[in-house]
Structure 1
Amino acid sequence: MNDYSTTRDRVEHYFDRTATHTWERLTSSAPVSRIRQTVREGRDMMRDTMLWRLPRDLTGLRVLDAGCGAGQTTAALAARGAEVTAVDISPQLVEIARRRLPPEHADRVRFHAGDMLADELGSFDYVVAMDSLIYYTDEDIARALDRLGARTRHSVVFTVAPRTPFLMVFWWMGKLFPRSDRSPVMIPHPFKPLNEVTGRRLVKIGRVSRGFYISECLEFRP
């Protein structure tokens, strides 16, 4: 998985060394620009869409928050009774998530800084991966889902960037900049090829389009 590892390292560098403060502010209630406000609202809508796919009562169920970021999904899962493993490639974001977690949920959450695909994280009833696979190719996503699915009892609920004209413009613009001088660029995916490479085990759940935030929720059934 050399391509996956290379992209993962770029994502870690970006979120842990370049964008930590921006991401911390975006995921808080602090005032942000109009553009970032649409991203904040879009992410809130997508989080609700993803959580809708899981049982309302998660008591006793193990859930992996793969790419937990600042921990909003982690807190929502724990509030519904889940035993949560929250992992992110960025140690700084993991610390933000740890600080923000309401104390009453602390005994149900285990934080981990590292690769969301690591086998040592254990097995789960569900996996939630919000915007943590958006930088990867079809093949890397398929391999990641296979690894997660092998340790998941029910399903992996995740997001990708859908292939829309709007996102394709930004994708081509991103290719104009040197890789060392820009953030990791999301890769837009049409559903059919991604479904094929994952063995036709994907289900469309819903798309959120809010200003500059566009994301597609899919479900992978092992």
Structure 2
Amino acid sequence: MVGTPTYDATRNRVEAYFDRTATKTWERLTSDAPVSGIRQTVREGRDRMRDIMLSRLPEDLTGRRILDAGCGTGAMSEILARRGADVVAIDISPQLVEIAEKRMPEALAPRITFTSGDMLSETLGAFDHVVAMDSMIYYQAPDLGRALATLSERVDHSIIFTVAPRTPFLMAFFAMGKLFPRSDRSPTMIPHVPARIAQETFQKGALGTLSEVERVSRGFYISTCLEYRA
């Protein structure tokens, strides 16, 4: 996929944030270490969302090749590998990938290929499934549609991903974020309506179906699981 100016700019902001600013925060959040009340709700929300996404896949993944797009510190990749999948785990942050590799049990290492870079790179090859938890939440609808259409050409079954839902609460935060300078802040989540993403995906040439699976709302973690089926 040839990146658009908006896609490339957002990807660069995300890389800078997670690889230079928030590495230690995410390392702690995704561990068993105590965290603040707000971060605890995010941890619980992410755990619930991971379970929902995994429930959309067969229990036995032997022989399936899966892309964990935005693998972070590797929690999803570990579960996929335990269920028999051959996993390509990619994240835009080399530091998070390094943490994931160190955390991975040695017995599962042969099932997982870790790498850093763009989750849409054609060099990653073809897959049975793609999972992308909270790695597409920063992109505009046209870029999401283009990303799904690009991935769909190399995916046999499904793309399971999350977006921020267009709720009054998140829209208020989104509007407030525009009032402040971009420096020293995390990338902004873009609230979406699933129908708009489906429209953009279809317009980019993908002929599969997009459906909403389930929303998770736990304190400051609010996210919707969507599934594209080829």
Is the TM value for this pair above 0.5?
Answer: yes
In structure 2, the residue matched to 1:219 is: 227
Separation in structure 2 between the aligned mates of residue 119 and residue 136 of structure 1, nearest angstrom:
19
In structure 2, the residue matched to 1:52 is: 55
Separation in structure 1 between the aligned mates of residue 173 and residue 74 of structure 2, nearest angstrom:
27
Separation in structure 2 between the aligned mates of residue 132 and residue 53 of structure 1, nearest angstrom:
18
Separation in structure 2 between the aligned mates of residue 176 and residue 28 of structure 1, nearest angstrom:
33
In structure 2, the residue matched to 1:91 is: 94
Root-mean-square deviation (CA), in Å? 0.9
Alignment of 1:110-189 (within 5 A): 110-189=113-192
Separation in structure 1 between the aligned mates of residue 197 and residue 62 of structure 2, nearest angstrom:
33
Q: Is the 2:146–2:200 contact (alpha carbons within 8 Å) kept by the matching residues of 1?
A: no
Q: Is the 2:89–2:112 contact (alpha carbons within 8 Å) kept by the matching residues of 1?
A: yes
Listed one character per residue, the Cα deviations across residues 136-160 of structure 1 (whole Å, up to 9, x for unaligned) are 0000001111111111010100000
Listed one character per residue, the Cα deviations across residues 132-188 of structure 1 (whole Å, up to 9, x for unaligned) are 000000000011111111110101000000001111111112111212332100000
Separation in structure 1 between the aligned mates of residue 22 and residue 16 of structure 2, nearest angstrom:
9
Q: Is the 2:194–2:211 contact (alpha carbons within 8 Å) kept by the matching residues of 1?
A: no
Does residue 202 in structure 1 map to residue 200 in structure 2? no
Separation in structure 1 between the aligned mates of residue 179 and residue 99 of structure 2, nearest angstrom:
33
Percent same amino acid at aligned positions?
65
What TM-score do the two structures reach when normalised by structure 2?
0.95
Separation in structure 1 between the aligned mates of residue 174 and residue 74 of structure 2, nearest angstrom:
27
What TM-score do the two structures reach when normalised by structure 1?
0.98
In structure 2, the residue matched to 1:21 is: 24
Q: Is the 2:145–2:200 contact (alpha carbons within 8 Å) kept by the matching residues of 1?
A: yes
DSSP-derived class of the 2:158 partner: strand
Q: Which amino acid aligns with 1:216?
A: T
Q: Which amino acid aligns with 2:222?
A: I
Give the count of matched residue pairs.
222
Structure 1: gaps (5+ residues): none
**Residue 11 of structure 1 is aligned with which of 14, 26, 32?**
14
Separation in structure 2 between the aligned mates of residue 40 and residue 216 of structure 1, nearest angstrom:
15
Separation in structure 1 between the aligned mates of residue 34 and residue 172 of structure 2, nearest angstrom:
28
Separation in structure 2 between the aligned mates of residue 30 and residue 128 of structure 1, nearest angstrom:
26
